[in-house]
Structure 1
């Protein structure tokens, strides 16, 4: 039997999920954390741009493209499981260069945001750009289209659904309504025929409950990196007290 290509294998992990059993993708911020998550038995990983930025000494959204792609490359080569990369809004690269550079890292998927400099992009224009990315990538990348309406001053359910549908029509494999309230999740999941990514955020439901509400995929943003940093602070205090 022919083996699936890496992106197809990653795509298959999203299929056939039952309510309450979403695909859980921890977010490594460097090679060491990626190995820890792989050793724990997770079948795939998804880098968080904010966590990677922190590990490189940048504020979220300020990482130069070259450094982000280099970081993703190090993470990918450190593990044997598929890795999807959060590459923010695409760093202003044209679709061909963006896809080429992403594939060079070895990643099998990506998050692409529909906002920039704190403002939402025009949805039709962004959908057209996503369609170009899909055409360049073919089946070699799982494209997860992030919907930023909830964090950019447009928290209405209808607006999120309209953008999600447009991005699916453009070829997105999944949609990611970032920071959507849990009560909106069932309607969003009904509205699109692709997996809905939800992040586990402070004061939000956990992975199982999000899965029951319709999420097919769970990520953590920079949450795991923040928890690790807090744990390291505790260790540092203990060391000072030795």
Structure 2
């Protein structure tokens, strides 16, 4: 797929309301595409776990980008890359990270305002705006209309002294992110439908949220005003739970039950092997 066309396709999917599944390696990406996903996001947490690192921008940037490259090669649908906080505080480093991701074929990216530092968990708004402007300029220079999903962790970090203060700060940040060149504001940690309606009205622009297993279904979240609902690392966690359960049964009973599995030959063929 020609990359500018892929980026335009990703943008159109958001206009329709996108249910986005998140992959962590080539075979998970192919499985999600096989299931009918019209686009695929990467999940930095799940990629970090598969590389043997904790979440939180600890895995080396080159390793994260290597996983992105394999995912892009494995599928023929648009891929949007979770770049955490851009792997650096300064705008130049963020721009370099975006340039590398777009150069590998990413049609969109996620960039967050979480610092990972307990003393100041969120980047100051002015600093994050400059980081987003640098990201946009880096993609524009490559001639790719990258879909920039600007994440704020106001809810994950429990910003403020009240729910109203948190909502107001999320809207303040989100509106500034959109003015800086972001296409969408991503607010993970929010699944309350009324809050989503208030956020969408206050932002006056596209809103992305992350599905929670104990929250409303993705269709309800879209109806409430979200433009995009993603899975985050949930699919990896579910797969690992199933793997651990099957392994325990094998160790105890000496045999594996027959869960719903994809045939070996199907996956072998995905990657060009003889069945």
TM-score band, normalised by the shorter chain? over 0.9
Gaps in structure 2 of 5+ consecutive residues: 255-275
- Show the 5 A alignment for 1:172-191: 172-182=182-192, 183-191=194-202
Which one is further off, 184-193 or 207-216?
184-193
Structure number with the bigger relative contact order (C-alpha 8 A, sep ≥ 6) is 1
**Equivalences, count:** 236
Q: Aligned Cα RMSD in Å? A: 1.7
Q: Residues 200 and 206 of structure 1 are in contact (CA less than 8 Å); yes or no, is this contact kept in structure 2?
A: yes
* C-alpha deviation, 1:30, in angstroms: 0.9
Residue 151 of structure 1 pairs with residue 135 of structure 2: no
Distance 2:51 2:179 in 1: 35
Distance 2:12 2:222 in 1: 17
Distance 1:91 1:194 in 2: 27
Which one is further off, 164-173 or 5-14?
5-14
Match of 2:67 in 1: 71
Q: What secondary structure is seen at the aligned counterpart in 1 of 2:148? A: strand
Match of 2:265 in 1: none
Match of 1:44 in 2: 39
* C-alpha deviation, 1:3, in angstroms: 10
Q: Residues 125 and 173 of structure 2 are in contact (CA less than 8 Å); yes or no, is this contact kept in structure 1?
A: yes
TM-score, L = length of structure 1: 0.92
* C-alpha deviation, 1:181, in angstroms: 4.5
Q: Residues 28 and 47 of structure 1 are in contact (CA less than 8 Å); yes or no, is this contact kept in structure 2?
A: yes
- Show the 5 A alignment for 1:118-197: 118=117, 119-138=121-140, 139-154=144-159, 156-182=166-192, 183-197=194-208
Q: Residues 191 and 212 of structure 2 are in contact (CA less than 8 Å); yes or no, is this contact kept in structure 1?
A: no
- Which protein shows a greater Rg? 2
Q: Residues 3 and 105 of structure 2 are in contact (CA less than 8 Å); yes or no, is this contact kept in structure 1?
A: no
Q: What secondary structure is seen at the aligned counterpart in 2 of 1:26? A: strand
Gaps in structure 1 of 5+ consecutive residues: none
Distance 2:7 2:26 in 1: 20
Q: What secondary structure is seen at the aligned counterpart in 2 of 1:94? A: helix
Deviation readout 1:210-240 (Å, 9 max, x if unpaired): 1121111010111110001001112212222
Match of 2:103 in 1: 104
Q: Residues 188 and 210 of structure 2 are in contact (CA less than 8 Å); yes or no, is this contact kept in structure 1?
A: yes
Q: Which runs of 4+ in 1 moved over 6 A?
A: none
Residue 30 of structure 1 pairs with residue 40 of structure 2: no
Q: Residues 196 and 216 of structure 1 are in contact (CA less than 8 Å); yes or no, is this contact kept in structure 2?
A: yes
TM-score, L = length of structure 2: 0.81
Match of 2:14 in 1: 14
